[in-house]
Amino acid sequence: MKAAIIGSGIGGIATAIRLRAKGWEVDVYERNTFYGGKLSEEWINGYRFDAGPSLFTMPQFVEELFELWGEDPKQYFPYHRLDTLCNYFWEDGTRFAAKADLNVLVEDISTIFGELKTQVKKYLEDSKQLYDLTADLFIHSSFHRLDTFLSKRFFSRLIHLPKLRAFHSLHQENERYFSNPKLIQLFNRYATYNGSSPYIAPGTLKVIPSLEYFYGAYLPNKGMIQIPDALVELARRHGVNFYLNAPVEEILHDGRSVTGIRVKGENKLYDRVVSNADVVTTYDKLIKNIRGPKRIYTQERSSSALVFNWGIKRSFPELDLHNIFFSDDYAAEFNALFKTKTLWHDPTVYIFISSKHIKGDAPEGCENWFTMINAPHIAGQDWDQLIHQARENVLSKLSRILGISIEPLIEAEWIFDPRQIESRTSSHLGSLYGTSSNSMTAAFNRHPNFTSRLKNLYFVGGSVHPGGGIPLCLSSAKIVSEIS
């Protein structure tokens, strides 16, 4: 059996490894000159920037791929657990460092935000319980096959349906537990992990914090780029073929089943084709005479991102690996993102500084700031004007809170906006996660990892089930390998 993988994002690489472990011949075709999809890197004037996802949780999903081949993942993929999950900053001077130690975390939240420790513990425990209840069905299984819904585990979960909190927004759910608006805002931010609004997305997203607070946050020793690098090396060691600068022009089919692909004008025959490209892009640009299901065109797209990669010629001891500078009006920020499709003048700013842990990522005494704000998907905006104004707003905000003018410290800069996200990663309209989760039925409406329109065609990655982010993309690869 021969399989072609279109795209070498994390989901495509993992699918290749899993299918090869089943004895398949596997070829991966990547249109870019680098692997990893959104997980890539850039070097600018001595500064290295991870150009995509910066949070690494559930490392066992990566380790599983090495263990398929009887290899010790620690030999090829060393990483370490973070002591501080994230530093938070507000305009009024409030600062909070979320520690990985759960007891310390609860104590600090209670002290700084004035919440009862029992209530904080209950929230975190409920978050973990929600993960335990939903992971098997929503993350690790094909959610679009009858056997999933006829399984004993599905029926055993039905009695817990009220605990999913699907009929309340995440914001409303957080208000049930806490009274301090800053703490509510802190837990609201987890909706952004899949490109959604906490004021619309269901309270079920309360599950997301448990991935950090109970299972930990990590960093590969050589940065996030080490994830695709290590997995490509693993795949190659075991016979997977990778072709860079090899854009797939068409998925070939006979009207009923795929027969192969066309690359640079040459037809290549395959028994299975797996697309790691955005599902809308796959249907619209790669498959002739077959249109995708209507819902993938009508569903709300997830948010995108605007990133200012800055080489900063000094160090900031008050900052850590992950840092958040919150907006004073979070609701207005998300209204701008999802209603008016623009950038709020006081955006929440996230800064990822890998040089805090990896000294070679910046010159001595300097730092590499991956400075990101949430952005709407592409909808006819004047991006050049928006970016110019956003840069001023971000610099002004950071300068106020940190007490020093930031712009004179910038000696290297690379800006990454939704237009580049779309062109570089084939993400439809620049959406980072495909469709948003701004609906209680969003999990059911994601495109399956297969299609009834064409046999032997499969889909993997953040635009399909179970969703975006490294753990979910790796899970989608496992699902594809099991159903193909």
Q: Are strands 272-275 and 457-459 parallel, antiparallel or unpaired?
A: parallel
pLDDT at 440: 78
pLDDT at 136: 79
Give the domains, in start order, of the chain with CATH numbers: 2-39+224-299+439-483 (3.50.50.60)
pLDDT in tens, 259-310: 999 999 999 999 999 999 999 999 999 999 999 999 899 999 999 999 999 9
Q: Which amino acid is at 165?
A: R
Q: What is the value of pTM for the model shown?
A: 0.95
Place 138 in a pLDDT band, splitting at 50, 70 and 90: confident
Closest CA to 444 of 216, 142, 6: 142
Q: Distance between CA atoms of 105 and 83, rounded to whole angstroms?
A: 11
Closest CA to 99 of 112, 108, 91, 90: 108
Closest CA to 455 of 262, 290, 284: 290
The DSSP H or E segment spanning 241 is: strand 241-243
pLDDT in tens, 6-46: 999 999 999 999 999 999 999 999 999 999 999 999 999 99
pLDDT at 166: 77
3-state SS, 199-215, equals CCCEHHHHHCHHHHHCC
- Cβ neighbours of residue 250 closer than 8 Å, sequence gap 6 or more: 261, 262, 286, 287, 288
- Mean pLDDT to the nearest integer, 197-214: 95
Q: Distance between CA atoms of 61 and 248, rounded to whole angstroms?
A: 28
Q: Which residues pair with 47 in a beta bridge?
A: 44
Does residue 4 contact residue 270 with C-beta atoms inside 8 Å?
Answer: yes
pLDDT of 156 > 80? The answer is no
How many helices (H) and strands (E) are present in the chain, helices listed first? 18, 19
Give one word for 208, left, alpha or beta, with left for phi > 0 and alpha for psi -120 to 50: alpha
Q: Which amino acid is at 229?
A: D
pLDDT of 210 > 70? The answer is yes
pLDDT at 161: 59
Averaging pLDDT over each range in 292-306, 390-404, 426-440, which range is the top one? 390-404
Residue 81 tokens read as 């657990």
Q: Please give the distance of CA 355 from its chain centroid, rounded to a whole number.
A: 21
pLDDT of 220 > 70? The answer is yes
pLDDT in tens, 225-260: 999 999 999 999 999 999 999 999 999 999 999 999
Q: Are strands 2-6 and 25-29 parallel, antiparallel or unpaired?
A: parallel
Give how far Cα 51 sits from Cα of 33, 225, 309, 332, Å. 15, 9, 9, 28
pLDDT at 267: 98
